[in-house]
Copies of this chain bind each other. A is one copy, B any other.
């Protein structure tokens, strides 16, 4: 029988107090969720909904979960990564009315999937995912729930990619919002959130300088360009690897050197993978690397750096520093891997995930999407849906309002001009 976090901990109340303190800090810096909390409390838009969630369970996520409960939903949640759960936050969440948390730090693979199974017991009408583990689990193991599911939300590039593959195979049987792809998420969370937190975690975990280093960024999607941008901003010389020629050219035009990984391997001091793909750094790359290089992953899964091959090559392996595993190669070179190749900004010893404010935006979109699924259950077919523009825009307007930023509005003449086509040179 899978245990809730409260059943796992020796002193759940102490944990809960500490978790609540963390949530308070996050909440104070999440103005979008604060604004939504007022309307959700008043209007109970989620009354009667049951929500199954698999997310990184830390303070910011907890503020979202609490918001959903305040909006009237019953919520069950577990982690989406064995190392990213903070037990104290999980405990504080479990103490919230209407919320059950099974998320626990450091569970093994069996426990991980058991917890997902436990969440499904909530008999969900809506799912919320970060990496698509819940939605795939339901399709695989609980097809009987699909008729009652109004829809779901997916947070990450990787998860949306998996969902699109499912949809292409005709295997996605209820509607999913690609929260990841909406401007309010991808332009902020991926670029600034991943960029800042990956680089700050690398700097703090290693205590190494970024200035003067060659940082190899694998992948130049939104996450990759965020990492490249922040690394450049800290005065690194950035090298980019890509498989798409347009993205490669974009990186080149930013002033970055573009190389195949096997050549970049010989140049880099720090490597950050952001591709969402497997085997981005492999044996033949390790063989090129200089002594003392640092490898970190900022993609969703821990498959980007092929650690099995590195382990094969290495003579010894030891934790040389908290969160840093040193693989010593026979010729004396040392390769340092951060956070076991898992998401460096979530799974490292100092990690707290993305900055609070960018998660406020992403979770603001999550909240209004959940609200939309509850309100308009028949509006969406099975498949992957973009977040409706009006919802994304609503979140942006709430944020501008919270930041006290005024912008211009189109006059009637301007609107007419933009809609017309008969003006010329």
Binding site for B on A (CB under 8 A): 21-22, 24-26, 28-29, 59, 80-82, 112, 131-133, 136, 140, 161-163, 165-166, 168-169, 171, 183-184, 187-188, 191-193, 196-197, 199-201, 203-204, 207-212, 229-230, 232-238, 241-246, 248-250, 252-261, 263, 276-279, 292, 301, 303, 320-321, 324, 334, 350, 352-353, 355-358, 361, 392-393, 396-397, 399-400, 403, 405-411, 413-414, 417-425
Kindly report which residue of chain B lies nearest to residue A401, judged by CB atoms.
B245
Contact across chains for A25 and B421 when beta carbons are under 8 A apart: no
B207 touches A204 (CB 8 A): no
Q: A421's contact among B132, B244, B406, by CB below 8 Å, is which? A: B132
What residues of chain B lie closer than 8 Å to A207, measured between beta carbons? Answer: 25-26, 59, 352-353, 355-356
Which residue, of A165, A188, A321, A407, has the highest number of chain B Cβ atoms within 10 A? A407
Contacts of A82 in B (CB 8 A): 425
Q: Chain B residues with Cβ under 8 A from A204's Cβ?
A: 200-201, 204, 350, 352
Q: Which residues of B contact A243 (CB under 8 A)?
A: 407-410
A252-B212, A417-B278 given; A406·B259 CB < 8 A: yes
- Taking the nearest CB of chain B, how far is it from the CB of A172, in angstroms? 9
- A-B residue pairs in contact (CB < 8 Å), sample of 18: A24-B320, A28-B334, A136-B421, A166-B421, A196-B234, A207-B352, A211-B254, A211-B355, A212-B255, A229-B235, A230-B234, A233-B233, A235-B254, A245-B396, A245-B407, A258-B407, A278-B417, A350-B350
Determine the chain B residues whose CB is within 8 A of the CB of A249 once the complex forms.
184, 188, 361, 396, 399-400, 405
Q: Least Cβ distance of A230 to chain B in Å?
A: 6
Q: Please measure, in the bound complex, the distance between the C-alpha atom of A418 and the C-alpha atom of B161, giving whole angstroms.
A: 8
A355-B208 contact, Cβ under 8 Å, with A277-B410, A420-B165: yes
The reply to whether B133 and A425 form a contact with Cβ atoms under 8 Å apart is yes
Q: Which residues of B contact A163 (CB under 8 A)?
A: 421
Q: A203-B355, A408-B261 are in contact. Are A421 and B162 (CB under 8 A)?
A: yes
Q: Are B321 and A22 in contact (CB under 8 A)?
A: yes
CB pair A405–B21 under 8 Å, yes or no, is: no
Given contacts A29-B292, A245-B393, 18 further A-B contacts (CB under 8 A): A59-B207, A133-B424, A136-B421, A165-B421, A192-B209, A192-B212, A193-B209, A199-B200, A204-B352, A207-B353, A210-B355, A211-B255, A233-B235, A241-B407, A245-B396, A248-B396, A252-B403, A303-B417
